[in-house]
Amino acid sequence: MTGFRTLLTAIAITCTGGAVMAQTELEAALAAGGERLKADQIAELLIGNRVTARSGKKTFHFYYDPSNVLSGELDNGGWKGSGAFAITDRDQVCVSMAADKGRYRCLTVVRDGDLVQKFDVDGKKTFELLNVEPSAGL
């Protein structure tokens, strides 16, 4: 019986350890001291601003027009697009580019000091904001 309890304890520890290792990038950012931004903070950060953001090795520029139109372009060319954005009561920014065919992708925004990142619904980092500046367009 003692061997059986030891086995169950070992299984429980293994399962718990596995759960910790399966932490999403969003959970890791929050655990490291990041703060999930509220809707008003997201609006202040994005609306009326030109945002330079990195996704992987690519750098993009986005403009969040006060009329909820989003325009974007890839640094050094290769892609340019437009769509719509909305900031929700659930503290997310949702974007729909023309290629999304009406589908909105909602992102959680986290700030840790000067570092601002966006995470998708699965907790995967999608963008790191490099620069935000007031603008009237791209």
Q: Judge whether 9 lies within some domain.
A: no
Q: What is the pLDDT of residues 25-73, one digit of tens each?
A: 999 999 999 999 999 999 999 999 999 999 999 999 999 999 999 999 9
Q: Judge whether 83 lies within some domain.
A: yes
Query: Which residues neighbour 137 within 8 Å (Cβ) at sequence distance 6 or greater?
Result: 50, 63, 65, 71
pLDDT at 80 over 70: yes
* Host domain of residue 112: 24-133
pLDDT, mean over the chain: 88
pLDDT at 4 over 60: no
The CATH number given to whatever domain includes residue 29 is 2.40.128.640
Question: Average pLDDT of 79-87?
Answer: 95
Beta strands at 115-119 and 105-112: parallel, antiparallel or unpaired = antiparallel
Token couple for 90: 């659930």
Q: Of 5 and 36, which is predicted with more confidence?
A: 36
Question: Average pLDDT of 88-110?
Answer: 94
User: How far apart are alpha carbons 82 and 85 in whole angstroms?
Assistant: 10
Query: Which residues neighbour 124 within 8 Å (Cβ) at sequence distance 6 or greater?
Result: 24, 25, 26
Q: What b/e sequence results for 93-121 when a residue is b if at least 16 CB atoms lie within 10 Å of its CB, and e otherwise?
A: bebbbeeeeeebebbbbbbeeeebbbbbe
Return the half-sphere exposure (C-beta side, CA atoms, 13 A cut-off) of residue 137: 1
Number of domains in the chain: 1
pLDDT at 136 over 60: yes
User: How far apart are alpha carbons 129 and 117 in whole angstroms?
Assistant: 6
Q: What is the pLDDT of residue 100?
A: 86
Q: Confirm if 41 and 35 have CB atoms less than 8 A apart.
A: no
Share of the chain above pLDDT 90, in %: 75
Q: Confirm if 59 and 72 have CB atoms less than 8 A apart.
A: no
Q: Judge whether 129 lies within some domain.
A: yes
Q: Judge whether 102 lies within some domain.
A: yes
